[in-house]
Structure 1
Amino acid sequence: MADIHFLAASGNGPVECRIALASLLSILEKEAKARGCTFEATAGRAPDGHGPASAIVTLGGGDAMRIAAEYGGTIQFVFKSPVRPHHKRQNWFVGLRQIELAGDAGDITIDPRDIRFETLRAGGPGGQHQNTTDSAVRATHVPSGITVICRDERSQHRNKATAIRRLQAALQLLVERDISDAKTALFLANKDLERGNAVKVFRL
């Protein structure tokens, strides 16, 4: 089964929403591992150390689609602000939606010299259909530090090509652009977070 990709975003909410997003990434990683799925996260910038405004999450394995169905949408976190102790608000919202990373990369181009490839033995679930050769690849865009893993194909060459497209798409999603850009708006628009319709609520 091909990997599933998600965009996790805190909207243009305050720092507490980024703290909530960091907690969500930790929760998703534990959930994925407990259910035999692989987990990778490509996080955006965390300028003050309180968590990124956005991240791209990749899940692989038989239960990945079920996790997607359970977590897709608006997620509510309830906690007192650790950075503004006298702030009365305790409800913070982040969003998780499925995206495609192998498609249009917009205007992003990558110098091949800026990509570092590592071959991996495909791990995680898969049974008799699991790829047992070193055809899976990890591709790192050295200037940005963004890393993606591709294990979809049995051919290392095809996995490298897919990894490059995913790097381009990840950069397109994470790059800072005008808010009118439709892709960047996924990260920044509060209207994407429907506060009254949380699919999950976590109390920290």
Structure 2
Amino acid sequence: MKQKLIQITAGRGPAECCWVVAQVLKYFLKEVQEIGLSYEVIHRSPGNENATLQSATVKLKGSDVDAFLKKWLGTIQWVGTSTFRKYHKRKNWFIGVFELDTVVDQKIATKDISYQAIRSSGPGGQNVNKVNSAVRATHMSTGITVVAMDSRSQHQNKKLATERLKQKVWETHLDKVKQIVTDQWENHLNLQRGNPVRVFKGTDFKKMKKETSFKHKRNQLKNDLRNQIK
């Protein structure tokens, strides 16, 4: 069963683009459910306005995941009037949907972690400051460190520290990859605006059919030519 990580991002776009990310996420997950893929939203970065998202990261699993993503990866366009800036003239807003390949196989081996027993602090009885029951776990290649002192058992604290460290390293790595994707999105945005994979319209976010032929463009060119001749 294939697994993919997908980021839906507004890049450094304004509040309108962040609103589009939130709407696209809903639409995206609805289609995921309809075709029977399993999913998990593993991260959301809120926008500055209510009900907006700067980015969202989704883990997908299923045999049909590649075919599904062909309809989504790329630029998404929303055609509509800003609800945040009443007199803003702009009508076209763009966000990106990207695959985060480099994160999927990110694993941490136990050999990459160093452990140190330390004394617990705070309430917990007479033994809390006398026994080295707390555990500090450090990921040696990144220097990321966590401490677990939830239990009086050093073994249990070591287990908790390991789980927390793996989660923290994962999140740190994911943040770095998302930043790389955001930078790439900013660099290529102007080139991708003319060829969105999906187009939505209006505050009700209805999907618009994408042109499957050049008939519309040909007619537009003819009209432009006629206007120039007149």
Does residue 196 of structure 1 match 2:194?
yes
The equivalences for 1:63-74 within 5 A come to 63-74=64-75
Aligned partner of residue 80 in structure 1, secondary structure: coil
Distance 1:91 1:57, change over 3 A: same
Distance 1:108 1:185, change over 3 A: farther
CA contact (8 A) 2:15 2:47 kept: no
1:38 deviates by 1.5
The equivalences for 1:5-16 within 5 A come to 5-16=5-16
Cα distance between partner residues in 2 of 1:190 and 1:174 = 16
Distance 1:11 1:65, change over 3 A: same
Does residue 43 of structure 1 match 2:41?
no
Which entry has the higher C-alpha Rg, 1 or 2? 2
CA contact (8 A) 1:108 1:171 kept: no
Aligned partner of residue 186 in structure 1, secondary structure: helix
1:108 deviates by 7.5
CA contact (8 A) 2:5 2:100 kept: yes
- 1:93 is aligned with what amino acid? F
The residue number in structure 2 matching 1:98 is 99
Superposed CA offset, 1:96-133 (max 9, x none): 1111323389847363749xxxxxxxxxxxxxxxxxxx
Cα distance between partner residues in 1 of 2:143 and 2:63 = 32
Superposed CA offset, 1:125-173 (max 9, x none): xxxxxxxxxxxxxxxxxxxxxxxxxxxxxxxxxxx79x936x6344333
Normalized per residue, which structure has more helix?
A: 2
The number of aligned residues is 151
TM-score, normalised by the number of residues in structure 1: 0.63
The equivalences for 1:1-204 within 5 A come to 1-41=1-41, 42-100=43-101, 101=103, 102-103=105-106, 107=142, 109=144, 111=146, 113=148, 164=166, 168-174=169-175, 184-188=179-183, 189-193=185-189, 194-203=192-201, 204=205
Cα distance between partner residues in 1 of 2:90 and 2:13 = 12
* CA RMSD, 1 decimal: 3.0
Distance 1:37 1:87, change over 3 A: same
TM-score, normalised by the number of residues in structure 2: 0.56
CA contact (8 A) 1:54 1:187 kept: no
Distance 1:15 1:107, change over 3 A: farther
Cα distance between partner residues in 1 of 2:14 and 2:7 = 18
CA contact (8 A) 1:6 1:99 kept: yes
CA contact (8 A) 2:73 2:197 kept: yes
1:12 deviates by 1.0
The residue number in structure 2 matching 1:142 is none
Unaligned runs of 5+ in 1: 115-159, 176-181
